[in-house]
């Protein structure tokens, strides 16, 4: 490769080369990808997430998955987070097998839906009542509607870097950050959004007291504030507890509903989720991923009066209740899997200590690898959520990440896959990852970063 190329040009050439190397390593997958592109845009759902060539998985067991080419990987993606017990956990598998025989869907609720609701109500701070939907996106949509119904207001505030699913009203300023932090721009992060939605969104800076000032400034116009107490896909960034408490107090002062989006962090960072770890209780909490045991789920839970707004008609309220739920909401396959996974996770006294020990080992191992290589990089996260940042300064917010080496990060993900590790920015561990697995993940990062150094992109 010519030394006259800029870093950006080098990265572009290396990414092209990596694509061809992936095709050589995974010839069966490459052929399948070519066929899949005829039916699926990009050859897979969420093609952008799996660039430059998707993985096609045939099976998983514990912390490992196997692809069409019979290549086995240590998986730190874990189905985008839900598989905290690893793949094909015997208790979850057996529960699902028994439910299949009884029936996969009825419409009327089954006993397992009440069992799952009770587990959630007994573990999530402030969860007096629970409503089931089918995805994190549906849960955030429902929570925003409840906030508007309860307050009679229109505007919703969200934070830079916060991801709340493909919700029409929150697909702003996830990666596109601009404007002064005190009055940040609302930048669309998807095509096809209604311009009307932008009129009702307020963008706040994360871990920044100017967010408190803006909430107080909006005052009576603000229906709710939605946030990830641990930002997930936007950088794996925990909220500072004192700052989070200030957000809670500001919402109380103006009468806005505080909504915690714990779709990712729920049950991952602890048995009482991030709210329990950080010591701040929201009015409403939305869950997903882990709560469904590997099946599709969304959960809205929280203050009993607010949750009563989902009843038709809402008690003590004029007009219609809030629409929340659909055909498969609370279906027996999902709730059965959720009960099995959460029971095993919460009731097993070894689960969270093991997750935390392995996550600490991973963070310390990565930091030691950075030091050995002489590169400036940082590890963030909380519990079994781990973020790797190739940038000069340790980020506290998405706004801090403007100096990240995105080209090197893209190469890192690809080179890790070539070496048998799936870790795509936001890294998760399961209860089945061992010390040997973690050490292998660290070694793979070190090898990949050394290669990127040699190639002149780091």
pLDDT in tens, 21-45: 999 999 999 999 999 999 999 888 8
The pLDDT score that the predictor gives to residue 318 is: 63
In a domain, 294, yes or no: yes
Q: Give pLDDT, residue 3.
A: 59
Domain final residue, candidates 302, 318, 347: 347
65/177 same-domain check: no
How many structural domains does the chain have?
Answer: 2
Q: What is the predicted pLDDT for the residue at 441?
A: 98
What pLDDT is attached to residue 86? 98
Query: Can you tell me the distance from the alpha carbon of 310 to that of 361, in angstroms, rounded to the nearest whole number?
Result: 44
pLDDT at residue 197, as a whole number: 78
Q: What is the pLDDT of residue 317?
A: 60
The residue ranges of the chain whose pLDDT is under 70 are 1-5, 314-319
Domain-terminating residue out of 322, 347, 372: 347
Domain of 109 in residue numbering reads as 90-347
Tens digits of per-residue pLDDT, 71-128? 999 999 999 999 999 999 999 999 999 999 999 999 999 999 999 999 999 999 999 9
Which of 347, 377, 393 is a domain's end point?
347
Same domain, 171 and 277: yes
Residue 219 sits in a domain whose CATH number is: 3.40.640.10
Residue 434 falls inside a structural domain: yes
Question: Does 410 reside within a domain?
Answer: yes
Is 2 part of any domain?
no
């Amino acid at each position: 490769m010519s030394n006259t190329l800029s870093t950006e040009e080098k990265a572009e050439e290396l990414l092209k080369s990596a694509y061809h190397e992936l095709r050589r390593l995974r010839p069966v997958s490459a052929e399948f990808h070519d066929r899949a592109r005829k039916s699926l845009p990009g050859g897979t759902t969420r093609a952008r997430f799996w660039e430059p060539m998707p993985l096609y998985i045939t099976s998983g067991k514990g912390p490992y998955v196997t692809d069409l080419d019979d290549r086995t990987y240590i998986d730190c993606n874990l189905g985008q987070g839900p598989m905290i017990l690893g793949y094909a956990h015997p208790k979850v598998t057996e529960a699902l097998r028994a439910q299949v025989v009884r029936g996969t869907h009825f419409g009327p609720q089954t006993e397992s839906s009440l069992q799952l609701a009770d587990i959630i109500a007994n573990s999530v701070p402030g969860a007096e009542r629970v409503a089931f939907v089918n995805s994190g996106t549906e849960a955030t949509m429902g929570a925003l509607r409840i906030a508007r119904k309860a307050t009679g207001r229109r505007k919703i505030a969200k934070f830079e870097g916060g991801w709340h699913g493909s919700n029409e009203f929150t697909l702003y300023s996830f990666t596109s950050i601009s404007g002064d932090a005190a009055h940040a721009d609302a930048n669309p992060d998807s095509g096809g959004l209604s311009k009307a939605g932008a009129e009702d969104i307020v963008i706040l800076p994360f871990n920044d007291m100017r967010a408190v000032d803006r909430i107080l400034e909006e005052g009576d116009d603000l229906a709710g504030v939605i946030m990830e107490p641990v930002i997930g896909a936007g950088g794996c960034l925990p909220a500072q507890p004192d700052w989070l408490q200030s957000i809670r107090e500001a919402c109380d002062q103006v009468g806005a509903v505080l909504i915690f989006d714990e779709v990712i962090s729920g049950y991952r960072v602890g048995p009482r989720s991030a709210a329990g770890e950080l010591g701040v209780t929201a009015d409403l909490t939305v869950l997903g991923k882990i709560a469904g045991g590997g099946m599709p789920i969304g959960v809205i839970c929280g203050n009993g009066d607010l949750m009563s707004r989902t009843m038709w008609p809402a008690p003590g309220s004029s007009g219609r209740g809030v629409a929340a739920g659909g055909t498969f909401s609370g279906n027996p396959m999902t709730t059965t899997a959720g009960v099995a996974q959460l029971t095993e996770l919460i009731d097993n006294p070894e689960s969270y200590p093991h997750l935390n020990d392995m996550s600490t080992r991973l963070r310390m191992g990565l930091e030691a690898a950075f030091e050995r290589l002489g590169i400036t990089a940082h590890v963030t996260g909380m519990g079994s959520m781990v973020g790797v940042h190739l940038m000069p300064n340790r980020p506290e917010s998405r706004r801090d990440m403007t100096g990240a080496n995105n080209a090197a990060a893209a190469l890192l993900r690809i080179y890790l896959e070539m070496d048998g590790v799936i870790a795509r920015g936001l890294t998760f561990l399961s209860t089945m990852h061992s010390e040997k697995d973690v050490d292998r993940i660290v070694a793979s990062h070190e090898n990949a970063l050394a290669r990127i150094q040699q190639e002149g992109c780091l």
